[in-house]
Amino acid sequence: MSPPAMPVADTLVPQPAPPDSKINRDILRVMEGTSFGYWLLLLISIASVGMAGGIWTYQVYEGLGIAGYTHPLFWGVYIVTFVFWVGIAHAGTLISAILYLFRAKWRNAINRSAEAMTVFAVLTAAQFLGIHVGRMWKAYFILPYPNQRGLWVNFKSPLMWDTFAITTYATISIVFFYIGLIPDLAIARDRATGWRKLLYTALALGWQGTSRQWKSHSRSVLHLSGLATPLVLSVHSVVSWDFAMSIVPGWHATIFAPYFVAGAIFSGFAMVLTVMIPVRRIYRLEAYITDYHFENMARFLLLTSLIVGYSYAIEYFIAWYSGVEAEQSAFWLRAFGPYWISTWTMIACNCIGPQLFWFKRLRTHIPTLFVVSTFINIGMWFERYVIIITSLSREYDPAVWGVYTPSWAELGIFVGSFGFFSMFFIMFLKLFPVIAISEVKELAIHEKAHGDHGHAPAEA
């Protein structure tokens, strides 16, 4: 080719590129280097997973008897913990999908970590279904696959609906998480060396941020948000129907679906706060995850706490108003029977504690946020404990009433579930950008062009 007739000769040699974006540097810095504390936390998490694995192996050898299952209770801590982790998984999709559709820009600082928590929480929850039924390696029995017996699964069972709901939720959460991650993986790829370069090059799929790529990406995120919004509402509704479709006193209530969904969002937001408050402090992300973000989350906690509190009250009201003796007795025993500590812990943590968030000073006071959100996590576990255990142990016939105490095996595996979740999250901190860089950048560039109208992070 002949050289161009002098026009851009002065610019044939590219000028040195300006220093990298401050947003890139700040957020990618989280992935660099590891401290002693990091390895210690990771080791503790892995050790607790190992412990839970050991207990599970022993349970497989010995049988589900060691899980404390005895008449009349065959749903215990495993199911309680399953519902707890499914609930935790709701914040990510709510933040990513519903707040995206509402154009709530403040979600950008927290959506990535919340999505990651969703994926890890669903994976944790899924373990418990296998642990609970015993022979985990036969889990595929629940899927409708052609078999020699010519037998199909029962689609009328809420447990079957749950299988479809949880599988869909896990898949869509992973897809959502990955699609959102692609542009940020390209940012990491352009700056990484060694094995990380290979990893991010493979995962970024050759992303260059061209208009074709961005257009398809934005459209996919929009569609996935549209799909995930009803999904997030359906998943915990379906989980609630595992209970509500039965005739067990304390379970057989039409309010269960919205009550469970609100509770799930409540616990999910609480977990995001509990995790992100230390992460923000350790990795100095105050410029990106601001008090404004935490305050908005506290508002969500207050709203969902009121919905949950209302549901508790309605349950008691309907038990009284229905005139059904079994219902009345179940609810009386919840508050004043052998499980009264669980019930009052649940009410204190979920209904009373969050009322502090009526005050702006407390909504923006980080230690208060951390303590209240941690107590909400505890309270929400107890909520599921109360719903499942008290109802099953006090059914219609007093002759078959019993008292349930969690066994050491159940508690060990319960503790291990936190290790399982933390292990993934701790590894995620060092492998992927903890904040959605390109989304934060979008706000920052808009701000630079049009002046500061929002609460986006500091300029690049």
Partner 1 sequence: MPAIVGIYDQPGPTADVAKRLRARGFDDIEVYAPAAFPELDDAVDPKPSGVRIWTLIGGLLGVFTGYFISIWMSNDWPIMIGGKPFAAIPTYTIIGFELTILFGGLATLLGLLVVGRLPYGAFGKNDKAYSARFSAEEFGVVVECKDRDVREVDSLMRAHDAKEVNLVER
Stretch that binds partner 1, among 32-40, 176-184, 281-289, 305-313 (CB under 8 A): 176-184
What span, in angstroms and rounded, lies between the C-alpha atoms of 282 and 113?
15
> Looking at beta carbons only, is 185 or 376 nearer to partner 1?
185
What span, in angstroms and rounded, lies between the C-alpha atoms of 71 and 131?
19
For partner 1 (CB under 8 A), the number of binding residues is 80
From 50, 63, 230, 402, residue interacting with partner 1 (rule: CB under 8 A) = 230
Q: Contact letters (x/-) for partner 1, 371-400, by CB under 8 A?
A: ------------------------------
Kindly identify the residues of this chain, within the stretch 234-253, that bind partner 1 according to CB under 8 A. Answer: 234, 238
Stretch that binds partner 1, among 212-220, 247-255, 366-374, 394-402 (CB under 8 A): 212-220
Phi first, then psi: give them for residue 170, nearest 5 degrees. -60, -45
Stretch that binds partner 1, among 216-224, 276-284, 361-369, 398-406 (CB under 8 A): 216-224
Stretch that binds partner 1, among 18-26, 111-119, 296-304, 402-410 (CB under 8 A): 18-26
414-440 core/surface letters (b: 16 or more CB in 10 A; e: else): bebbbbbbbbbbbebbeebbbbbbbbb
**Does residue 192 belong to the site contacting partner 1 (CB under 8 A)?**
no
**Does residue 211 belong to the site contacting partner 1 (CB under 8 A)?**
yes
What span, in angstroms and rounded, lies between the C-alpha atoms of 118 and 178?
12
Q: How far is the CB of 104 from partner 1 (least distance, A)?
A: 16
Kindly identify the residues of this chain, within the stretch 22-81, that bind partner 1 according to CB under 8 A. Answer: 23-24
> Looking at beta carbons only, is 2 or 35 nearer to partner 1?
2
Rounded to whole angstroms, what are the CA distances from 345 to 218, 238, 336? 44, 26, 13
**Does residue 453 belong to the site contacting partner 1 (CB under 8 A)?**
no
Kindly identify the residues of this chain, within the stretch 110-169, that bind partner 1 according to CB under 8 A. Answer: 144, 150-156, 160-161, 164-165, 167-168
Q: How far is the CB of 14 from partner 1 (least distance, A)?
A: 5
> Looking at beta carbons only, is 176 or 283 nearer to partner 1?
176
Select from 230, 85, 242 the least CA-distant residue to 163: 242
From 34, 218, 246, 405, residue interacting with partner 1 (rule: CB under 8 A) = 218
**Does residue 186 belong to the site contacting partner 1 (CB under 8 A)?**
yes
What span, in angstroms and rounded, lies between the C-alpha atoms of 321 and 380?
26
From 15, 148, 193, 254, residue interacting with partner 1 (rule: CB under 8 A) = 15
Kindly identify the residues of this chain, within the stretch 412-451, that bind partner 1 according to CB under 8 A. Answer: 438-439, 441-442, 444-445, 448-449
| SS3 state at 213 | helix
Q: Hey, how many other C-beta atoms are within 10 angstroms of the C-beta on 333?
A: 20
The long-range contacts involving 282-285, CB below 8 angstroms and separated by at least 24 positions, are: 283/29, 283/30, 283/429, 283/434, 285/26, 285/27, 285/30, 285/434, 285/435
> Looking at beta carbons only, is 71 or 212 nearer to partner 1?
212
**Does residue 220 belong to the site contacting partner 1 (CB under 8 A)?**
yes
Question: By the 8 A CB rule, do 259 and 311 touch?
Answer: yes
**Does residue 191 belong to the site contacting partner 1 (CB under 8 A)?**
yes
Residue with tokens 């192996």: 57
Q: 285 is written with which tokens?
A: 């992300």
Select from 148, 124, 117 the least CA-distant residue to 48: 124
What span, in angstroms and rounded, lies between the C-alpha atoms of 225 and 227?
5
